[in-house]
Structures are given as structure tokens and as C-alpha cells.
């Protein structure tokens, strides 16, 4: 047994040679134990030092700013809610896409990597990409939002250090049809214009920053627009711009009972799925962000103001036999009758002289107050961020009141003009426009009474009369009782009114026996359709309005009534 353990045998021999072996063995044990404890303590001290260093380093790093070069921020792929029209048709939605990144520290040959990448992405900036790949960073973006084919082709290149991250990007099924309303997002899926920007301003950006913008929790945002009507409006203004060789055109369809914008388009526009030209200077939502002298459409407000003041009735008459001279200016009528005109005649003949005298009857302060009351000279309150502030003289003088009476001297937006005209026809209530769905009860809770019922009754009569006997004849649509007012304004060029460049507008309402909708169209610098023809609003903006009513009325729920000859009806006025 002892032979199997040589070390024990040697110990016993040593013990046998000693007179007091027990003491010898015990001393050896004590000597051995003291050295062992020293080694253990030293080992523990070393490990304690190592772990203390690691712990201290981790605590230090914990208080440092995170290294964002290691990957994209989480908000890059943050979700957005769908945007849908009033019928649930999708206008904007998120789709998944791949984005290419590189890890420069793993790139062996930057030149070779770029040469291979250029075979798939020929538009890539060689110099910029080279600096990225030679930066030594842990992560750099090379190209965002690739197509599936591009991703597949790059993967087949087999370049070490290239990788892909799945992101979300915005897709707009309607394309340019609703581009100015829906708006745009940037490369990081953040709203930068239109309703996309409005949604972010309502708290979505905060949700994205906190990581709480989860797709399943985001309800669709339902707009007021009807995509079917929106398509018609965009098609008509694009056709009109080409047909009349205008520099721009636009239109809006407004529910006058609720203030809902049913459709609105402005051309030139852009494709939000490929917005390479969205920042071009001619890409402007002219309906809400463009300021214009609205010409004779403002005579609607001049006549309404005169009637609402109580100083003028439809039976009142104004001498328009001679031009008005004030200072260095002389006010003429475009198609003058050179005689005394009744208020209806002032309206249907679009008399500048008669309108100026209506304004004189009310007075300068009353004139200014009325336009502010109807919101024409106030900044419009609505969800769309792109809204311009109207301009007016700092101090109104007599000459200003006279020229503003027929549409020169103040600038406002076409959408505001439509909203103001709606107030003259819907019972006298100013309702700020909305691009979100809104019931009539909700609209009335925020509506403001601005003109009397008697004034509304008179304006309905005048709109219907103008479509039957005046400048609005081209806007008539059989069965839909359309009324309206033209507006042809000379544009200011180099500080002077041009005789060759006009801004034309037409405001139509239907059905005139109980108006439901306003259609306002514009044509910027139109040319005659044919040699010898004029280029006034009746021959272009009025025709565009008629086409929109003809194509969209049934979709808007307006039933035709052919009991009135020529599609118009004269609203009785008592």
C-alpha cells in the first residue's frame, strides 16, 4: 500500500531518522503553510487589480456619449402612420427598403471596392465614397433606399465590409396627384412638407425619438380629400396649363358647409416618390402658398360689403358713364357701358367704376374691416404648413380703397378667396378650411357669422345671374345650376401693370339653389387658345371650373336637375 505512494514512504523514512519525528513533520507543515498563504494573497491582489481596472473602465465609458459611428440611429427606421383619403384610399404608407453601409476598417482595397460598386451604382460620387472608405470609421452610409435589384447586384459583388440595413421609406401610391397636400418625408422618414410635416408637429416626432412609434399602434390619418375628385382636379389643371400655355394653373374644391378641402392641385408639381425637382423655384403650391392680386373675384366681397352695410341694395344705382380720375390714375371699365348701372349690372358687367363707387359708399375703414372680417387679409389657419400671409397697404388711402374694390392693391391666396366666397353663400359663416375630415356640427362650432342672411340671399342671386347673363356663362354645366364670378388681373412686372400678362381666376358655386361646393380655378399668364381669341378668365379659368364640376359633381353627391334651361337657375331675391 505504502509502495503505491512514494512520497508518503519518503516522509516516513525521514521521520524514522529523527528522535522527535512529530516535531520535524509539524515544522515542515508550518513552513509550507506560510509560503502558500503568501502566494494566495498575492494572486488575489493581482486579480483584484485587474478587475478593478476593468470595472473602472466600464464606469468611465458609461458616462461617455455613445459612438454613433457604429450604426444608424433608431429614428432612421421609425414608423409613420398611413395617410388615407376620406374613403380609406391609401395616399402614403411605409415600405421596407435596404440601405447600403460599409465598415471601412474591413475594407482591404478602397479603389477596387468603389470600382465594383460603380458597376451597380454608376451615379455614386467616387471622391466622396473614397474618403468614406478610407476614414477608418466603424460605420458609414454609402447609399440609402436601394431597389431590390440593386441590393441583389451589390451582394453578388462579394465585397468584404459592405452590408445592408433594413429601413422604412415612404411610398405614395397617388404620385403627383396629391403631392402638395400629402407632402414629403426626408431620407430619415421625417415629415418636411404638407400633411406629413403636420403629422410630425402633432407629436409623431416625439414618439419616434423615444422609440414608441410602433407601426401597429399608429392609426391611419384620414384626410378630407376625395382621391377620385383629386384626380379630376389635377388632370384638369394640368390639361388647362398645357392647353392655354400658362406658366402655372391650380384649383380647389371646397365644401362650403364644413370647410373641408375635397381636392386641391397646383401645377407644375412633383412626384413624391422621386422628388428630384421638388425644390425648383416653379414648384410652389400656388393655392395656399402663392400670393396674388385676385382681380375681379374680389368684386364679390366689394358688392357683399356694400349690401351688408345697409347703405346699398340691389336696387341701388351707380353712375359708370365716365372714368374715375384720382391722382395720376384713371379707372376705366374693361367692357364699359358708359351709363348708370344697377348693382346687378355692376356685378355681371364686372364694372371697375361701379365697384369703386360701392367702396366709396362704405368708406375706407369699413372696406378694410370687411376684408379682414372675411379673412381675406389674415393669415389662414389650417393644417397645411405652406400658407402665405396676405399683403395690404400699411395705410389705406382713398386710392387704395378704390383699386382694391376691383381686385388690385392687395394680395391674398386663392384658397383664402375660396373660403371667403363660401362665407357669402353658406349662410354667412366664415369657416376656416381643413384638410382633415370634419362633420358639419364640428364646423359650426368653430364658425363665425360674418354677413347677414339678407346679404347671402343677394349674393346667391348675383352668382346665378352672372352665370346666365354675365361673364360666368362658360362655367355653366347643364343640370348642376352653377353660379360664379370671373377675375382677370394684370400682373405687376418691374413695378408696372403689364398689358400682356394676366393672372386669371374663376370662382364657381353649385348648386345655386342650395350651394354645397365652391370650385376656384386659376391660370397664371395664360395665352389665347387660338389666334384671335381672348385670354380672359372666362375663356380659360371658367372653362376649367366647368370641366371640374361636370366630372366631379356626381362623386360629390350632387344630383343633377334638368328642369332649369341651360343648367342654371335664377335664385329669387326679395
Pick the closest to residue 231 from 253, 205, 206, 200 (CA basis): 253
Pairing mode, strands 340-342 and 317-319: antiparallel
SS3 readout for 219-271:
CCEEECCCHHHHHHHHHHHHHHHHHCCCCEEEEEEEECCCCEEEEEEEECCCC
**Which of 77-81, 270-274, 352-356, 465-469 shows the lowest per-residue confidence on average (mean pLDDT)?**
77-81
**Mean pLDDT value across residues 498-513:** 94
Q: Is residue 569 part of a domain?
A: no
User: What is the maximum alpha-carbon separation in the chain?
Assistant: 155
Going by pLDDT thresholds of 50, 70 and 90, the confidence category of residue 335 is confident
Give CA–CA dist 337/354, Å, rounded.
11
pLDDT higher than 60, residue 24: no
Segment holding 325, helix H or strand E:
strand 324-326
Pick the closest to residue 558 from 512, 508, 507, 506 (CA basis): 512
Q: Under a CB-based contact definition with an 8 Å cutoff, are residues 336 and 308 in contact?
A: no
Same domain for 139 and 245, yes or no, is: no
Specify the pLDDT at position 29.
47
Specify the pLDDT at position 23.
43
- Mean pLDDT (the chain) is 87
Q: What are phi and psi of 311, to 5 degrees?
A: -90, -10
Same domain for 264 and 146, yes or no, is: no
pLDDT digits (tens, 9 = 90+) for 416-427: 999 999 999 999
**192, 222, 252 - which closes a domain:** 222
Q: Is residue 353 part of a domain?
A: yes
55 Cβ contact list (under 8 Å, min separation 6): none
Same domain for 141 and 277, yes or no, is: no
Q: What are phi and psi of 333, to 5 degrees?
A: -100, 140
pLDDT digits (tens, 9 = 90+) for 241-288: 999 999 999 999 999 999 999 999 999 999 999 999 999 999 999 999
Pick the closest to residue 344 from 460, 505, 450 (CA basis): 460
The residues pairing with 93 across neighbouring beta strands, listed in sequence order, are 171
Give CA–CA dist 3/7, Å, rounded.
9
pLDDT higher than 70, residue 538: yes
Give CA–CA dist 368/366, Å, rounded.
6
pLDDT higher than 60, residue 568: no
Q: Interior CA angle at 240 toward 237 and 242, to 5°?
A: 115
pLDDT higher than 90, residue 93: yes
Give CA–CA dist 343/335, Å, rounded.
16
Q: State the residue range of the domain holding 185.
A: 83-222
Same domain for 486 and 455, yes or no, is: yes
The residues pairing with 250 across neighbouring beta strands, listed in sequence order, are 266, 522
**198, 222, 246 - which closes a domain:** 222
User: Which stretch, 29-38, 151-160, 449-458, has highest mean pLDDT?
Assistant: 449-458
pLDDT higher than 50, residue 474: yes
Q: Which of 99, 193, 224, 296 is catalytic?
A: 296
Q: Is 99 a catalytic residue?
A: no
Total number of residues shown for the chain = 574
Share of the chain above pLDDT 90, in %: 66
Specify the pLDDT at position 285.
97
Give CA–CA dist 543/243, Å, rounded.
11
Q: Is residue 74 part of a domain?
A: no
Pick the closest to residue 524 from 498, 548, 550, 494 (CA basis): 498
Specify the pLDDT at position 418.
98
Q: Is residue 40 part of a domain?
A: no
Same domain for 428 and 529, yes or no, is: yes
Segment holding 522, helix H or strand E:
strand 517-524
Give CA–CA dist 256/519, Å, rounded.
10
Output the pTM of the full model. 0.80
Give CA–CA dist 292/194, Å, rounded.
21
Same domain for 218 and 233, yes or no, is: no
Residue 540's SS3 state is: coil
CA distances from residue 12 to 25, 160, 409 in whole angstroms, order as listed = 10, 69, 124
Same domain for 250 and 280, yes or no, is: yes
The residues pairing with 489 across neighbouring beta strands, listed in sequence order, are 503
pLDDT higher than 90, residue 42: no
Going by pLDDT thresholds of 50, 70 and 90, the confidence category of residue 210 is low
98 Cβ contact list (under 8 Å, min separation 6): 145, 146, 148, 151, 164, 165, 166, 167
Give CA–CA dist 121/519, Å, rounded.
46
Q: Is residue 262 part of a domain?
A: yes
Same domain for 213 and 186, yes or no, is: yes
Q: Output the CA torsion sign for 421, 422, 423, 428.
A: positive
pLDDT digits (tens, 9 = 90+) for 353-400: 999 999 999 999 999 999 999 999 999 999 999 999 999 999 999 999
HSE value, Cβ hemisphere, 13 Å, CA-based, for 236: 31
Q: Is residue 67 part of a domain?
A: no
Give CA–CA dist 518/414, Å, rounded.
12
Pick the closest to residue 273 from 167, 384, 145, 383 (CA basis): 145
Q: Is residue 343 part of a domain?
A: yes
Going by pLDDT thresholds of 50, 70 and 90, the confidence category of residue 289 is very high
Q: Output the CA torsion sign for 338, 343, 345, 351.
A: positive
Specify the pLDDT at position 209.
64
- The CATH number that applies at residue 209 is 3.90.1310.10
Same domain for 261 and 371, yes or no, is: yes
Same domain for 258 and 196, yes or no, is: no
pLDDT digits (tens, 9 = 90+) for 237-246: 999 999 999 9
**Which of 1-10, 158-167, 215-224, 323-332 shows the lowest per-residue confidence on average (mean pLDDT)?**
1-10
CA distances from residue 181 to 224, 259, 363, 547 in whole angstroms, order as listed = 11, 16, 39, 22
74 Cβ contact list (under 8 Å, min separation 6): 211
Number of domains in the chain: 2
**Mean pLDDT value across residues 435-452:** 97
Going by pLDDT thresholds of 50, 70 and 90, the confidence category of residue 145 is confident
Amino acid at each position: 500500500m505504502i509502495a503505491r505512494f512514494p512520497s508518503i514512504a519518503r516522509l516516513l523514512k525521514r521521520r524514522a531518522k529523527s528522535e522527535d519525528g512529530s516535531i520535524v513533520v509539524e515544522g515542515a507543515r508550518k513552513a509550507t503553510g506560510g509560503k502558500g498563504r503568501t502566494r494566495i494573497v498575492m494572486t488575489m491582489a493581482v486579480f483584484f487589480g485587474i478587475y478593478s481596472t476593468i470595472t473602472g473602465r466600464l464606469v468611465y465609458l458609461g458616462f461617455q456619449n455613445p459612438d454613433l459611428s457604429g450604426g444608424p440611429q433608431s429614428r432612421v427606421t421609425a414608423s409613420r402612420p398611413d395617410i388615407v383619403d376620406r374613403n380609406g384610399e391609401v395616399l402614403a404608407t411605409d415600405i421596407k427598403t435596404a440601405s447600403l453601409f460599409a465598415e471601412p476598417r474591413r475594407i482591404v482595397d478602397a479603389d477596387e471596392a468603389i470600382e465594383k460598386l460603380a458597376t451597380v451604382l454608376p451615379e455614386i460620387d467616387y471622391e466622396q465614397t473614397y474618403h468614406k472608405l478610407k476614414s477608418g470609421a466603424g460605420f458609414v452610409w454609402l447609399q440609402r433606399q436601394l431597389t431590390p435589384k440593386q441590393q441583389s447586384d451589390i451582394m453578388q459583388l462579394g465585397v468584404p465590409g459592405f452590408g445592408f440595413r433594413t429601413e422604412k421609406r415612404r411610398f405614395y401610391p397617388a404620385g403627383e396627384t396629391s403631392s402638395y397636400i400629402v407632402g414629403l418625408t426626408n431620407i430619415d422618414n421625417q415629415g418636411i412638407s404638407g400633411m406629413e410635416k403636420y403629422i410630425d408637429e402633432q407629436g409623431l416626432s416625439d414618439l419616434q425619438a423615444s422609440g414608441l412609434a410602433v407601426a401597429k399602434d399608429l392609426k391611419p390619418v384620414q384626410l378630407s380629400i376625395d382621391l377620385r375628385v383629386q384626380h379630376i382636379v389635377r388632370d384638369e389643371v394640368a390639361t388647362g396649363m398645357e392647353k392655354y400655355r400658362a406658366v402655372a394653373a391650380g384649383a380647389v374644391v371646397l365644401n362650403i358647409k364644413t370647410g373641408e378641402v375635397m381636392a386641391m392641385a397646383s401645377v407644375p408639381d412633383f412626384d413624391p416618390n422621386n422628388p428630384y425637382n421638388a425644390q425648383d423655384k416653379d414648384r410652389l403650391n400656388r393655392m395656399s402658398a402663392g400670393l396674388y392680386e385676385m382681380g375681379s373675384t374680389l368684386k364679390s366681397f366689394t358688392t357683399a360689403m356694400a349690401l351688408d352695410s345697409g347703405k346699398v341694395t340691389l336696387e341701388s344705382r351707380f353712375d359708370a358713364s365716365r372714368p374715375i380720375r384720382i391722382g395720376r390714375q384713371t379707372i376705366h371699365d374693361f367692357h364699359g357701358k358708359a351709363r348708370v348701372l344697377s348693382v346687378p349690372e355692376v356685378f355681371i358687367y364686372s364694372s371697375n367704376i361701379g365697384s369703386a363707387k360701392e367702396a366709396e359708399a362704405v368708406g375706407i375703414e369699413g372696406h378694410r374691416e370687411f376684408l379682414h372680417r372675411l379673412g381675406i387679409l389674415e393669415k389662414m389657419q389650417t393644417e397645411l404648413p405652406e400658407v402665405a400671409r396676405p399683403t395690404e397697404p400699411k395705410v389705406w388711402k382713398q386710392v387704395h380703397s378704390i383699386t382694391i374694390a376691383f381686385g388690385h392693391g392687395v394680395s391674398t391666396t386663392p384658397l383664402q378667396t375660396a373660403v371667403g366666397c363660401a362665407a357669402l353663400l353658406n349662410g354667412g359663416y366664415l369657416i376656416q378650411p381643413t384638410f382633415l375630415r370634419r362633420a358639419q356640427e364640428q364646423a359650426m362650432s368653430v364658425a363665425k357669422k360674418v354677413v347677414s342672411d339678407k346679404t347671402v340671399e343677394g349674393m346667391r342671386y348675383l352668382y346665378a345671374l352672372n352665370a346666365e347673363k354675365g361673364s360666368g356663362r362658360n362655367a355653366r354645366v347643364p343640370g348642376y345650376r352653377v353660379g360664379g364670378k370671373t377675375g382677370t388681373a394684370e400682373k405687376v412686372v418691374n413695378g408696372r401693370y403689364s398689358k400682356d400678362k394676366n393672372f386669371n381666376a374663376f370662382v364657381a358655386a353649385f348648386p345655386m339653389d342650395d350651394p354645397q361646393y365652391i370650385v376656384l380655378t386659376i391660370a397664371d399668364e395664360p395665352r389665347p387658345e387660338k389666334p384671335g381669341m381672348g385670354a380672359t378668365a372666362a375663356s380659360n379659368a371658367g372653362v376649367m371650373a366647368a370641366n371640374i364640376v361636370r366630372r366631379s359633381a356626381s362623386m360629390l353627391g350632387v344630383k343633377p336637375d334638368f328642369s332649369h334651361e341651360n343648367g342654371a337657375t335664377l335664385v329669387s331675391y326679395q
